């Protein structure tokens, strides 16, 4: 029993617990805990320290320290740190501006499932930023981010599906995503959904709005199948 108590008492707090210290106002304890964990290779703590130094939360703003901690976490596969590191490379903050490195880390973050990175990579391929325009690739990344609830990606996906941009035109599925983004508060989707509603039949609009509700219930997963099921039910 005494050995167990000794082991429990000496356990180092986790990064999540360190964030609790920060929220409780014990900034010094939070920073010391996070720094200790980060120096031991904890990628979550490294990523959190990056955020703190980038934004001046509990510490003075220090882009170089932010860059350092993001880089360490990113090299260990932390998707959030990879995204933030890409942003620093793009802005030239904390280190040299490097578009190639920005694109590299953004792509790694997107591949590791970070929705903001997926959305940004979609925009780059849609607009031809740093690459030739590739709407087929853009819609892939928008779809992945939309399935994670990214409202801007849902809006962009809805627009592309409605117009048949980078894919076959699917007006009901496009309206569904625009309707979802509008309902969840994405400003760009409001006018787009209203415009699209005037271009489809009342029957299609009603069907798409039912799909929207079901897609939200499904946490945005496998929502393309809703359109296929709706079409099958009509025949």
The 3 state secondary structure assigned to the chain is CHHHHHHHHCCCCCHHHHHHHHHCCCHHHHHHHHHHHHHCCCHHHHHHHHHHHHHCCCCCCCHHHHHHHHHHHHHCCCHHHHHHHHHHHHHCCCCCCCHHHHHHHHHHHHHCCCHHHHHHHHHHHHHCCCCCCCHHHHHHHHHHHHCCCCHHHHHHHHHHHHHCCCCCCCHHHHHHHHHHHHHCCCHHHHHHHHHHHCCCCHHHHHHHHHHHHHHHHCCCCCCHHHHHHHHHHCC
pLDDT of res. 234:
66
Taking the model in full, what pTM does it have?
A: 0.86
pLDDT of res. 25:
87
Q: What are the chain's domains?
A: 12-98 (1.25.40.10), 146-235 (no CATH)
Per-residue pLDDT 10s for the chain (235 aa) are: 444 444 444 677 898 988 888 888 888 998 999 999 999 999 999 999 999 999 999 999 999 999 999 999 999 999 999 999 999 999 999 988 998 899 899 999 999 999 999 999 999 999 998 788 999 999 999 999 999 999 999 999 999 999 999 999 999 999 999 999 999 999 999 999 999 999 999 999 999 999 999 999 999 999 999 988 777 676 5
């Amino acid at each position: 029993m005494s050995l167990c108590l000794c082991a429990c008492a000496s356990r180092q707090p986790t990064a999540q617990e360190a964030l609790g210290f920060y929220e409780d106002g014990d900034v010094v304890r939070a920073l010391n805990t996070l720094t200790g964990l980060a120096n031991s290779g904890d990628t979550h703590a490294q990523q959190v320290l990056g955020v703190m130094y980038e934004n001046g939360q509990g510490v003075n703003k220090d882009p170089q320290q932010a860059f350092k901690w993001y880089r360490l976490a990113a090299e260990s596969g932390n998707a959030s740190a990879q995204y933030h590191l890409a942003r620093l490379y793009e802005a030239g903050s904390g280190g040299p501006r490097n578009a190639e490195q920005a694109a590299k880390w953004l792509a790694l973050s997107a591949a590791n499932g970070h929705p903001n990175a997926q959305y940004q990579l979609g925009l780059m391929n849609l607009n031809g930023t740093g690459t030739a325009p590739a709407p087929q690739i853009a819609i892939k990344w928008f779809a992945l981010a939309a399935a994670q609830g990214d409202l801007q990606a849902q809006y962009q996906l809805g627009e592309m599906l409605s117009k048949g941009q980078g894919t076959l035109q699917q007006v009901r599925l496009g309206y569904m995503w625009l309707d979802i983004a509008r309902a969840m508060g994405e400003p760009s989707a409001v006018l787009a959904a209203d415009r699209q509603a005037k271009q489809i039949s009342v029957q299609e609009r009603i069907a798409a709005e039912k799909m929207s509700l079901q897609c939200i219930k499904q946490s945005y997963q496998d929502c393309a199948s809703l359109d296929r099921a709706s079409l099958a039910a009509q025949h």
